[in-house]
Chains A and B, each alone.
Chain A
Amino acid sequence: MRAGERVVERSEERWWSAELRRLSGVFLTALGTEEAQIDAAFCEAIRIAREQDSLSLEKRAEETYAEYRRHKASRPEGRGFRLAFWVPSD
């Protein structure tokens, strides 16, 4: 993911940046990373998608973040759980 982000910085190709951040959130969750970092990744994904008017990526990031919060609420002590890599299509 870091390599991908370096490519984005170098090339300034930001068309998939929101998804890159969402996936960072998914992987950080699986690794049991500190909650603040996970929240930051998902919030950044949503922010970028909104800034770019990418309604599709915004919806995807919001759905994954909501799934993450549901998991956290049901298992407050649980760390390192897996979120769906792909958000189910409508």
Chain B
Amino acid sequence: MASTLYFIGDFRYARQHALRAVEIWRSGVPQSAVEEVIAPAVGSLCFDALSQWHLAQIASCKETMAEAISLAKELNHMHALAVALCFAGFLGQFERNPADVERWTSDLIELSNASTLHFGCTQARLSAAGRAALPATRLKASRGLRKG
């Protein structure tokens, strides 16, 4: 629900659902027998962070995104980690921070190459394209994108 609400643009409600999902996960509810593509707690933290950015809670949104990345690493869930890195790159773009975009994109490319995650490769290229619009890195990033 948090992701659907986020993408339709209902950020406050998306955050409420993301927080509730994280709360349920932290309460130790037994895990589903079906393996999720993305660890639900990681995804929820990501959408909480993205929603916080819209709600102008900039400092805490970065902390929440760092928590999502840290949790994905702790769970050793590579796909969830790729998603979290991708969303961290989004936050960098939202903030117009080329250094952050560079950092998360590099990590995502490295992870994708190591784990043959095609999703990660594609998203990293898209993030590089977004980064190209940031003035300080426009030329360098466009060269990187052309190289693919």
- Residues of chain A having any CB pair with chain B under 8 Å: 12-15, 17, 48, 52-57, 59, 85-86, 89
Contacts and interface: CB of A to CB of B under 8 A. Distances in A.
Given A85-B133, A86-B134, A89-B96, A52 B53 contact: no
Interface stretch (B1-9, B18-26, B66-74): B1-9
Given A56-B94, A86-B96, A17 B9 contact: yes
Interface of B: 6-12, 53-56, 58, 94-97, 133-135
A74 B40 CA distance: 53
B56 A55 contact: yes
A15 B53 contact: no
Given A14-B9, A52-B54, 4 more contacts: A15-B8, A54-B9, A54-B55, A56-B56
Contacts of B8: 12-15
A1 to B, nearest CB: 14
A86 B58 CA distance: 17
A50 B134 CA distance: 26
B7 A53 contact: no
Contact of A55 (B7, B10, B55, B97): B55
Contacts of B56: 55-56, 59
B9 A55 contact: no
A52 B9 contact: yes
Contacts of B7: 13-15
Contacts of B58: 56
A56 B54 contact: yes
25 contacts: A12-B8, A13-B7, A13-B9, A14-B8, A15-B6, A15-B8, A15-B9, A17-B9, A48-B9, A52-B11, A52-B54, A53-B11, A54-B9, A54-B11, A54-B55, A55-B56, A56-B53, A56-B55, A56-B56, A56-B94, A57-B54, A86-B96, A86-B134, A86-B135, A89-B96
